[in-house]
Structures are given as C-alpha cells and as structure tokens.
Amino acid sequence: MLSIRFEQAKSLKAKPEDDKLGFGKYFTDYMFMMNYTAGKGWYDPRIVPYGPLVLDPACVVFHYAQEMFEGLKAYRVEKTGQIQLFRPDKNIERLNRTNKRMCIPQMPPEDVLQAIKELVRVERDWVPHSVGTSLYIRPFIIATDVHLGVHPSKNYLFCIILSPVGSYYAAGINPVKIIVESEYVRAVRGGTGFAKVGGNYAASLIGQEKAEELGYAQVLWLDGIEHKYIDEVGAMNVFFVINQEVVTPTLEKGNILPGVTRASCIDMLRSKGYTVSERKVSIDEVVEAAHTGTPNEAFGSGTAAVISPIGELNVNGEKIIINKNEIGPISQMLYDNLTGIQWGRIPDTFHWIEPVC
C-alpha cells in the first residue's frame, strides 16, 4: 500500500460549466506523481498542485519517445452522487503490457489503482454532474534519464492528471464520417500498435490532418503490410455488422489497441445472443457488403468516444453511406447499456464497476 503525501494548493480553480467541457480542455487542481530509479523502485508517491513539469531538455522522452499513457473515466452516479470507475483493472493490465514493450518497469497494479482512486477522491467535486459527462483520467509515464545514448532509461516519472469531459466528438452520439487512409500506416506487425504509446498517435497525425481537411472526423487505418485489412480508427476500435454477424478486427497480429470498451462491447453483445467474430476484416469485404445492401451498421468504440456510429466511410473516393447515416440499433443498444452501467442507471451484472467514494 502506498503512503501518499499531499501538498495543498494555494488556490483552487473555477470549475467550467458542464456544457462547455468538450474533451481534454480543462484540468483539475491536483495531479499524482511518483518517481522510479533502477535499483530503488517506485518512490515518493504524492498528490501535488497541478502545474508544469520542469525537465532537463536532454531527457530520453523528448528524443526517443520512451513513454506510455492510459485513459479511463470516473463517472458520477446520477441518483446517489457516488463516483465510480469502469474496469480500471483492464487499463492497469494494459499499462503493464505497454510498459513491457517500451522497456519501462512494471508497476504494482494495486498501487496504480490506489493512486487513481485517491486522486479522484481528492478531486471528487470535479466529476461533472450532467448526463454524458465524466472525469477523464490520464495516467502516463515518461523516461527522465538525462543522456542522448539510445538505451532504456533508468529513471521515470509516473503522473496522473484529470480532465472533466463531455463528448469526444462534437457530434456526440450522432454518426461520424470516417475516411480510409490509403497512403500512410499507423502500426506494423511486431511494432507498438497494441501498446498505448504517444508514437502511435504521432504517426497517425498526418492522416488525421488529411482527413480533417476533407471534412472527416477520423481515419480508418489499414494493416501496414498488405494495406488490405482493417486495423482501427486511431482513437477507437471498430466494429461492422455484416449479414447478422458483428465483426471486429482480431488482436492476434499485435497491431491493434486492445480497447477496454472493445472487450466490453464483445462481452455485452455475446451476453445478448449476438454472434461476434474477432477476425481479419478486409476493406474489400466492407465495400462488397455495402454494394449488396450491408454493412447494416458500423461503429467505433473507445473510452473517450464511448460508442460512435459511423455514418459515412470514404474508401478511395467512394462514399459509402451506412445505415442511412443514422444510429443503428446495435450501436444504440451498446451505448445505452455501457453508459447505463457506467453512470449507474442499470445494474452492473458484469461486475465492471469499481466504486471510489
């Protein structure tokens, strides 16, 4: 069990209105920090006033991107005002899988959970009240060795920051337009696609910029080898409903992020009797299905985005309209059930909820 010291802020910030939140624009009064040094382990866990980090410009993270992050949310139960997390154990397992890939030391899962819960407890008044809002939790680790040799760092900083959020997309749960990226790739087999690292997102920015210039919300990434199989949408995993089968790209090749919302969608769908296949899904299969009247539905899933129906898919200039650009019944069912559990509106029969306070 961590013994977390607390440093009081001199003044507290004014909290934003719930309807102005957007995503990731505001940050709370405090953050959690803890250091690591090889031979000593993780030490000095502390909750301190939120503020800038002072780092040497030669820190490994700035040059070789040895870092990782996670994303989860704290929700306020509408009736009781209680605050709860959704499957934090899954984020913490993924954190350690990412750390392994990035040569960052493992963290005791119970310490990470304790740190998250204590910070959220301190910042409980920042968990917004309005429907669809939550407190986004962003743990991250950076390599802080001061040297320019390319080696794993011996020193790290673990931080957790918090941001009250509304919808990730301006469109909310309304369908988004997605464009298939035909030139660049986000991840390759054997690379870091399965890990939650900034480099994956940095590699995706050029496609994202192109997409936005053309009026699309995000990019659908294809595999890095054949440029044929669907990977993910960068900030979301992706599902298609084709001929009564719900399909989502398999995680087997290690180039897709194993999303907690993705896994929860699969469990939820199977519990309701849907056939869900985790398999290779080629972009040709989706185009062909579109020409014969399906896919009936497509949607993205993610912590930030929750469930985001895809209304239009642009494949090499061909605009495929899915489900008349409307929210489909499966997307709606998943959205209602996941958010129902997260905000405590429906019973948590899956035991996904971790109460905080």
Question: Which residues are at the interface with ligand COI (CB under 6 A)?
Answer: 71, 201, 235, 302-304
Cβ of residue 91: shortest distance to ligand COI, in angstroms? Answer: 9
Nearer to ligand COI, 176 or 235 (CB): 235
Cβ of residue 306: shortest distance to ligand COI, in angstroms? Answer: 9
Cβ of residue 95: shortest distance to ligand COI, in angstroms? Answer: 12
Nearer to ligand COI, 178 or 320 (CB): 178
Cβ of residue 155: shortest distance to ligand COI, in angstroms? Answer: 25
Q: How far apart are CA 298 and CA 290, in angstroms?
A: 11
Nearer to ligand COI, 237 or 314 (CB): 237
Q: How far apart are CA 150 and CA 60, in angstroms?
A: 8
Task: Count CB atoms within 10 A of the CB of residue 127.
Answer: 24
Q: Which residues lie closer than 8 Å to 48 by C-beta, 6 or more apart?
A: 7, 30, 31, 33
Nearer to ligand COI, 98 or 303 (CB): 303
Q: Which amino acid is located at 191 in the chain?
A: G
Nearer to ligand COI, 50 or 201 (CB): 201
Task: Count CB atoms within 10 A of the CB of residue 3.
Answer: 7
- Going from the C-alpha of 149 to that of each of 36, 60, 197, the distances in angstroms are 19, 8, 20
Q: How far apart are CA 28 and CA 166, in angstroms?
A: 15
Q: Which amino acid is located at 248 in the chain?
A: T
Pairing of strands 275-279, 318-321: unpaired
Which residue has its beta carbon closest to ligand COI?
71
Cβ of residue 37: shortest distance to ligand COI, in angstroms? Answer: 28
